[in-house]
Amino acid sequence: MKKLMKNLMELLIEEEKQNFPLEREIANNKGVLGGNEVASEEDSIELVAPSAEADKSEDNIEERPMKKRRKLQRSLASEVVDRRARLRARRLVPTRMRTASMHSYMRDARTEDEWSSEWLPLDVPMDDHLEEGEEREDETETEPLELNKLAVESNSVEELLGRVVAEEWDEQLWVKELECAELWRSLLDEKYIHKKKEIECKDLLVDINNAQKVIVELRGTLELLRKGFERKFKRPEELTANLAARDQLHVTKLASRAKELVDCKAV
């Protein structure tokens, strides 16, 4: 990742360095004054080469922390998208139409120069206008080459950005695959535990059914024992009742005999 980001920044810095001489040439061409033009303070402004700033930015980029790399990637992506939009807008217009429009523009400029030359004095030379026309023709010839260079550079930057994005997607996909594998393992463990619990529940149901059967059998035996105990408990009661009746008869017999004895003594 660090190497790819470094390559991206080096390509952008080289692109700025290549664009700088073009801006310098445009500024120099603007510096050439025509017959009726006057030098101003705005034209005297010179461009400064961004080589030192580029070196400083390179050092700063190496020292940046991991948190700021996302912002840098977003800015690079937005710059690449803007450049692609510009290149597409330029590619939509064919080169023949561009050259034709430039030639028509040159013809209009020449007619304007001719009309203005009628009003100019004869002492003013017309070489400046001819030089401007030649410079414009050179610019029209160099435009497709510059566009091709920009297209190649933008494609290389896009390829690097694509690699960076692909690597990030691969890392995220790898992390997600690991998470999915862990989830599958946990799911298999849960399924195994669920099956084990189902088997245990089935065993418990069998044990419960067996216990219910045993309870029913025990209730039957308990009922039989209770009936036998009641029978055995009723027998002593019957015996005690019989003994009480016998005692009562014996008492009555003794009482009758005592009366008989008393009567015998009285006689």
User: CB-based burial of residue 157 (10 Å sphere; 0-12 exposed, 13-18 middle, 19+ buried)?
Assistant: buried
pLDDT of residue 122: 44
pLDDT of residue 40: 44
Low-confidence ranges of the chain (pLDDT < 50): 22-23, 25-27, 29-59, 61-65, 93-102, 112-130
- pLDDT, tens only, 163-190: 777 888 888 888 888 999 999 999 999 9
pLDDT of residue 197: 92
pLDDT of residue 226: 87
Q: Helix, strand, or coil here: 65?
A: coil
pLDDT of residue 159: 76
- pLDDT, tens only, 223-254: 998 888 888 778 778 888 888 888 888 888 88
Structure tokens at 157: 């930057």
- How far, in Å, CA of 16 to CA of 175, rounded? 38
75 and 64 in contact (C-beta within 8 Å)?
A: no
Find tokens 């695959």 and name the residue.
Answer: 177
This prediction has a pTM of 0.29
pLDDT of residue 208: 93
Structure tokens at 223: 């009922």
pLDDT of residue 61: 44
